[in-house]
Structure 1
Amino acid sequence: MTYRLIGMTASVATQRVLWALDYTEVPYTFEDYIPMISTPWLRARTRCWRGAISVPVLLGPGCCLLDSWDIALQINQDQPMAGLIPTPSQGEVAALNQLSEAIFNAARSLMLARALQDDQALLGAIPAKFPAWSRRPMLPMMRKTFRDLQNKYSEPGVSREQQLERLATAVGRVREQLDGKPYLLDRGFSYADMTVAAALAMAKPVPRSDSAPITAYERVNTCDEVVAAYPDVFDWRDGVVARHRYRSYLGNSCSGNRLPGKQHEP
């Protein structure tokens, strides 16, 4: 069976699922989701006619999963030998998944505020398949998309400083969990490392191997205060990505879809 994954390459939630699929060698095809443009079609396919809808979505025979953790559990069930979510450690992995959500939620709030002040960053969030000439006319749509996201996830009364403190606290917990270890679990690499590494890209994108200048989208995804306070955590993240993002559990090369922030400039 080959799954269809619908998602956005700029999405942390999509990237951790892509990583899990690649690592476990579970067959899938990927479909880019374009906010507003793809939304009616996505609602029809998922039969979610009301309320908020988001990606990633995993579709297959008798399968329609709309949450990245549920998708990870399904992938683990399909390929248990990969050790994505070891049964004895499932509770610990679930807790670390929640920690990654805390990182993501705080960093997303900070990023959205920065992006709405930077048109080049908004244009940089457009999927690379769109030609350069088509991007500038899409700017109003991207601005509306980011503003809608900001409204959707806003927390009235929570200041930038409070979000920054939340982010720093969550990244500090990653440092505590690692405690000098190469991986978050004592038993070795797992989905816990994938989801936390992906979430950290919202605070600092994974450096590109081509040494190209930082893009506008990468710039708004960078939280200098937290990066400066926890350089060891981001170094750990970079090492995990380098060792595991491009190899499956069997040691085979995998596609290595881009982590959040690895966008092409318009």
Structure 2
Amino acid sequence: MSKNGGKPELVGLLGSAWTLKARWALKSQEVKYNFIPYSPIFGAYWLRYKSGKWSGQLTTPILFTPNDGVLFESFDIAQWADDHGNTASTPSLFPADKVEDIRRWNEASDTALYFARAQVYKLLAQNRAARVSLLPPFMKALGPLADAVSSWMLWQFSSKYADTTSTASIDKTRAVLKSLRAAIEENNGYVLGSFTYADITMAVAVQVVAPVGPPFTKLSDDRREDLTNHELQAEFGDLLTWRDAIFQKHFPKCASVLAAAAV
């Protein structure tokens, strides 16, 4: 439970697609919250203590709410944000008659993002500089030790998500993207006919093709190029255009979110 004056606290991993989904929903519904960047090197035991989850897999984002306990999934966080928004004029991200459809699209988004995450791990395994860049600033100057720590971190993450990585594939991802294309063609540019959380979760999923560009990211052009899947880009360039339009129209202008790769 949040103890910060009744304001919810979101713990998330910078650069995480799932954290991005949660932050977008909270900002979209004008929920005021504090963001706590999660450090997997030093933060695991602290987060277990804070959340009370001492066994099982612990992933971020996690939302500590003032009165509704702890929420462990970005989908649940988004629904909570929808119920606790600070403006009556903001349309619901979860219209009652579309909740189950939104849930299915969220699962489809995860399918694509599991593949994206596997591709990021592959890139990091091959690129020492990229691995070390993810370390806290004081650790980057440790020379060979920094490389060893970054390699250990990558192994930890790879092991943690081995079950989803083993089922990830470009064919499953391609099927998800084809379904998205059909939906937005049929529903006037939105997944379900109007802007909902389905559009948020699928716009984030299109990161599997290529990361969104400025002003929504702090990634360098070179890093964005590294994370671009050129095979998917050739087939789904139209979805990048759609994704960019969703960001331009619906991503909260005040949101300070690093919309990057799925890690």
In the superposition, the TM-score normalised over structure 2's length comes to: 0.85
Q: 1:183 aligns with which of 163, 187, 190?
A: 190
Could you tell me how far 1:211 is from its partner in structure 2? 10
User: Contact 2:114–2:164 at 8 Å: present in 1 too?
Assistant: no
Residues 128-165 of structure 1, C-alpha deviations (whole Å, 9 max, x = no match)? xx44x642434433322222222222259959xx7121
Task: For 1:202 and 1:212, locate their aligned partners in 2 and report how far apart those are by CA, in whole Å.
Answer: 15
Q: Aligned partners of 1:120 and 1:36: how far apart in 2? A: 18
Out of 43, 49, 54, the position equivalent to 1:49 is: 54
Structure 1 residues 157 and 244: CA distance shift in structure 2, 3 A: closer
1:150 aligns with 2:155: no
Quick one: which of 185, 194, 202 aligns to 1:196? 202
Q: CA deviation at 1:233?
A: 0.7
Q: For 2:170 and 2:141, locate their aligned partners in 1 and report how far apart those are by CA, in whole Å.
A: 32
Indicate which of 214, 219, 222 corresponds to 2:221. 214
Once the two structures are superposed, what CA deviation does each residue of 1:51-74 show, in whole Å capped at 9, x if it has no partner? 221100000224211111111111
Decide whether the 8 Å contact of 2:116 with 2:261 is kept in 1.
Answer: no
Unaligned regions of 5+ residues in structure 1, if any? 248-253
Corresponding letter in the other structure for 1:89? K
Distance in structure 2 (CA, Å) of the matches to 1:50 and 1:155:
17
Q: Distance in 1 between matches of 2:227 and 2:180?
A: 19
Shift of residue 191, structure 1, vs aligned partner: 1.0
Can you give the 5+ residue segments of structure 2 that lack an aligned partner in the other structure? 1-5
Q: Is the 8 A contact 1:116 1:122 kept in 2?
A: yes
Q: Give me the whole-angstrom Cα distance separating, in 1, the residues matched to 2:247 and 2:218.
A: 16
TM normalised by structure 1 equals 0.84
**Aligned pairs (5 A) from 1:55-66:** 55-62=60-67, 63-66=69-72
* Partner secondary structure for residue 50 of structure 1: coil
Q: Distance in 1 between matches of 2:23 and 2:218?
A: 24
Tell me the distance in 1 between the aligned counterparts of 2:40 and 2:63.
Answer: 17
The equivalent of 1:257 in structure 2 is 257
For the residue of structure 2 that corresponds to 1:179, the secondary structure is helix
Once residues 100 and 157 of structure 1 are traced to their aligned partners in structure 2, the CA distance between those partners, rounded to angstroms, is 14
Aligned counterpart in structure 2 of residue 228 of structure 1, from 230, 234, 237:
234
Question: Is 2:128 the counterpart of 1:119?
Answer: yes
Matched residue SS, 2:63: strand
| Residues 157/240 of structure 1: CA separation in 2 closer, same or farther (3 Å cut) | closer
Distance in 2, Cα, partners of 1:235 & 1:192: 17
1:94 corresponds, among 99, 103, 112, to: 103
The equivalent position to 1:107 in structure 2, one of 99, 102, 116, is 116
> What letter is aligned with 1:214?
D
- Alpha-carbon spacing, 1:190–1:212, altered in 2? closer, same or farther (3 Å): closer
2:63–2:70 contact (8 Å) kept in structure 1: yes
Percentage of identical aligned residues: 23
Residue 213 and residue 45 in structure 1: after superposition, are their counterparts in 2 closer, same or farther (change >3 A)? closer
SS class of match (2:209) = coil
How many residues of Structure 1 are paired with residues of Structure 2 in the alignment?
A: 248
Q: Cα deviation per residue 1:52-108 (whole Å; 9 max; x = unaligned)?
A: 211000002242111111111111111284311111211111111111111111221
The structure 1 segments of at least 4 consecutive aligned residues displaced by more than 6 Å after TM superposition are: none
Q: Against the structure 1 CA distance between its residues 206 and 124, is the aligned structure 2 distance closer, same or farther, given a 3 Å change threshold?
A: farther
Q: 1:224 to 1:142 in 2, by over 3 A?
A: same
More moved, 163-172 vs 27-36 = 163-172
CA shift, 1:220, in A, is 4.3
Aligned residue for 2:93?
A: 84
